[in-house]
Amino acid sequence: MEKSEYSNHSYSAGTMSGAEALLRALLDEGVEAVFGYPGGSALYIYDAMAGNPAFKHILTRHEQGAVHAADGYARSTGKVGVCIATSGPGATNLVTGIATAHMDSIPLVVITANVPTALIGTDAFQEADMVGMTMPITKHSYSVRDAEDIPRIVHEAFHIAGTGRKGPVLIDIPKDVSNARMTYRPSKRLQIRGYEANPIPDPAGIDALMRAIAEAEKPIVIAGGGVVHSNAADELVEFIDQTRIPVATTLLGLSGFPSGHPYWLGMAGHHGGYGANMAIQNADLVISIGSRFDDRLTMKLEGFAPRARRIAHIDIDPAEIGKNVKTDIGIAGDVKTVLAYACERATATGTEDWMREIRQYMSSHPLRYKDSETELKPQYVLEMIHETSQGNAILTTDVGQHQMWAAQFYKFKHPRSLLTSGGLGTMGFGFPAAIGAQIGHPDRLVVSINGDGGMQMCAQEMAVCAIHRIPVKIVVLNNHVLGMVRQQQELIYKKRYSQIDLEGSPDFVKLAEAYGIKGLRARTKAEAAAIWEEALRTPGPVLTEFVIPSDENVYPMVLGGFALDEMILGNFD
């Protein structure tokens, strides 16, 4: 008998447990950190960690915090994020985070423990069919029945999660399988029947796009999250520099194209800028690059881009092309590959008159707000954060009004610097995602923008920041209401306010201090500047609470059922 090099337990020479094999396989994949929470069915996995100093595990305070942290790590680094939970409620607490990653095409490997194989299907204590439960929100799922398969399954899971249209992959491991002895054989071959990672783009489609660009007088590019996921930001800039086509971005496309570029129009869609939305509505050629034409971008489909003679769509997932918007030129392929080919054939277009028209739209109705010397406006706070960071921070947001203010008033320079839940709109996402981003980028400034509602869905993760001295700067924009719900009730439901009052929420400064984190509060511009400066010069995590008006709205806004050019612009007189 001898000890495995990955454990302090004794096994026959050359063997290890399934749990040890899991950890070794994750290390073989280059995993830097795993986020998780233990429980009965996962104890063999966690027991193996006790004898493996090379394995870094971050104990979150809720399983949802673990999956969101893994998501933030993945979004910010481009690598596959990993989380672990036990069976039953531990695993089901991951479902919202899995759906969040699925909607936004984020690569995760989600490992869930399960009851022993003999008890599966018997309604055993803390049993849950995670494969069946998550099938609609995972890219692929594995239910492990033989410990010998673990190295291969982990290798395949990382490949599937991180290639093609990225997404979450589930590995469900029964307790007896994690304890079974096996001989570890690293998996180096990939034989995944029927899986095509990246469709090869058709050069004829790209050539057709080049001809359409040459014939267009008012072309526009809509850049989506696919630009970020494929690491194609440089290729997009080169393509735009060559063609001189204006660019609007989706929410998830922000940071995929530099905000300081002369052809950048800002964010389009539901809370998009007037110039970006009007440019789409008046364009004769719309080119979607890595955007799936979701409803928050298009709004009323029948009224979307009514003057476009042609619509082109570049996407790695062929199923997205033509799904929501009728497409004249469809190109299935990796955005980086398609743009590299397009750049070889791109020539300048005569968009000078078109750009003058767009700039008139932008100057007539710029992003603005009614400033105040007596109240602290949230837009001012975001502008301050941008100015002090020069656009170089990684911003994570929760979901709500603050998310839109961040998208509008923080100007992103670098790819993967905005991490936000776009498709599912998950409250409680922002702060745990910031923890994951900071783990992936220990030397970057990471700022977590939260509302007072969403912060209470994840506040317990402050313990993780305090214990590990993770230097996330936590921002709480506190308006004492569910702001986006209140805004919709004001504008759509004739001010019939219902269940939006968050008075009685905790004192966030004292709550931070209770976790061992410095807490600061501001109610005025002068106080805001002072506490933010103190937060930036303070090592480690800091929570800064900015008390803002409860009746502040996000503008522009396009109501459901209306077209992009039917915006509510707000009264700023």
| CA distance readout (Å), 381 to 252, 388, 525, 538 | 22, 11, 8, 19
User: Is 126 known to be catalytic?
Assistant: yes
Contact by Cβ (8 Å): 242, 270: no
User: 366, 368, 364, 387: which is closest to 377 by C-alpha?
Assistant: 368
Known catalytic residue at 63: yes
Q: Could you tell me which residues come within 8 angstroms of residue 555 by beta carbon, excluding any fewer than 6 positions away?
A: 271, 369, 568, 569, 570
List the catalytic residue out of 29, 32, 126, 238: 126
Match 């100015």 to its residue by tokens: 387
- Of the residues 2, 3, 5, 125, only one is catalytic, namely 125
| Catalytic site residue from 133, 484, 557, 567 | 484
Q: What's the CA gap between 306 and 299, in Å, rounded?
A: 13
Q: In the annotation, is 16 catalytic? A: no
Distance of CA 108 to the CA centre of its chain: 12
CA dist 29 and 10 (Å) reads: 25
Catalytic choice (16, 49, 63, 567) = 63
**Cα dihedral 468, 470, 471, 472 sign:** negative
- Tell me the C-alpha distance between 292 and 307, whole Å: 20
Q: Give the whole-angstrom CA distance, residue 348 versus residue 230.
A: 25
- 552 as an active site residue: the answer is no
User: For tokens 């005569």, what's the residue?
Assistant: 350
CA distances from 424 to 294, 323, 481 (A): 12, 19, 21
Mark whether 125 is an active-site residue: yes
Catalytic-role residue among 79, 166, 175, 411: 175
Counted residue by residue, the chain has a size of: 573
Helices (H) and strands (E) in the chain, counts: 23, 22
Strand partners of residue 481: 501
Point out the residues that are catalytic: 63, 125-126, 175, 484
